[in-house]
Amino acid sequence: MSTPAFSLCVYCGSRPGADDAYLQLATEVGHWIGRHQGQLVYGGGRNGLMGRVAQATLDAGGTVVGVIPQALVEKEWANHACTELHVVDNMHERKRLMAERADAFLALPGGIGTFEEFFEVWTWRQLGYHDKPVGLLNVSGYYDGLLQFLSHTVEQEFMSEWQMELIRVGTDLESLLPALVQAAGLAPEPRLDAI
């Protein structure tokens, strides 16, 4: 098995969400990763957006690294189709391994788990624990309210503008994903059979 051109950690919902655009986005992100010889690192589930982005990555020729705690294996129906599936003891170990295996991070729509993972890697970045790019893909205005609130925290001087600049926000995956990979110092390479 060849070495992936890049490794993108994707945080997203274990549910499909109310809008079909979310599942479509997960499919497109997975296809983009696979078409560019990349590797997906994600939470190891087979349901919702998580399952969709993993399957789409595999379908497009990419590799998938899933990391799931033992306690969630039964609850989330671990995705045994992953190229690598790591069953770990707890959430802390899950997030550590996912962060270690990633060159960059991307949040798609999701719930409290997605928010927590996104905020953690963003916090780690601003504290200097890593220097990997962090992205937020805002489809169908899903994150509009959050972004408005984050701007409010800057206005109220609980955050600084430079902290906001540590995340790359986009509505178009064809612009945001290459920017994240390139910011990690890597180049997404389209597969010849995918052109």
Q: Are 105 and 134 in contact (CB under 8 A)?
A: yes
Spatial neighbors of 20 by CB under 8 A, at least 6 apart, are: none
pLDDT value at position 194? 54
Name the residue among 42, 165, 153 with its Cα closest to residue 106. 42
Q: What is the mean pLDDT of residues 189-195?
A: 63
pLDDT value at position 22? 97
pLDDT in tens, 62-115: 999 999 999 988 776 899 999 999 999 999 999 999 999 999 999 999 999 999
Share of the chain above pLDDT 90, in %: 90
Spatial neighbors of 18 by CB under 8 A, at least 6 apart, are: none
- Chain mean pLDDT for the chain: 94
Q: Are 128 and 158 in contact (CB under 8 A)?
A: no
Instruction: Give the position of tokens 């169908």.
Output: 140
Q: Are 34 and 59 in contact (CB under 8 A)?
A: yes
**Structural domains of the chain, ranges and CATH numbers in brackets:** 12-182 (3.40.50.450)
Name the residue among 71, 107, 70 with its Cα closest to residue 86. 70
Q: What is the mean pLDDT of residues 115-119?
A: 98
pLDDT value at position 193? 62
Cα distance from N-terminal residue to C-terminal residue, the chain:
21
Q: Are 68 and 43 in contact (CB under 8 A)?
A: yes
Phi, psi (deg, nearest 5) at residue 167: -110, 140
β-strand pairing of 7-11 with 167-170: unpaired
Residue 195 has pLDDT above 50, yes or no: no
pLDDT value at position 76? 66
Token pair of 9 as six digits:
């950690």
How far apart are the C-alpha atoms of 84 and 38, rounded to whole Å? 14
Q: Look at residue 21 and give its three-state secondary structure.
A: helix
Residue 2 has pLDDT above 90, yes or no: no
Residue 190 has pLDDT above 80, yes or no: no
pTM for the model stands at 0.95
pLDDT in tens, 120-148: 999 999 999 999 999 999 999 999 999 99
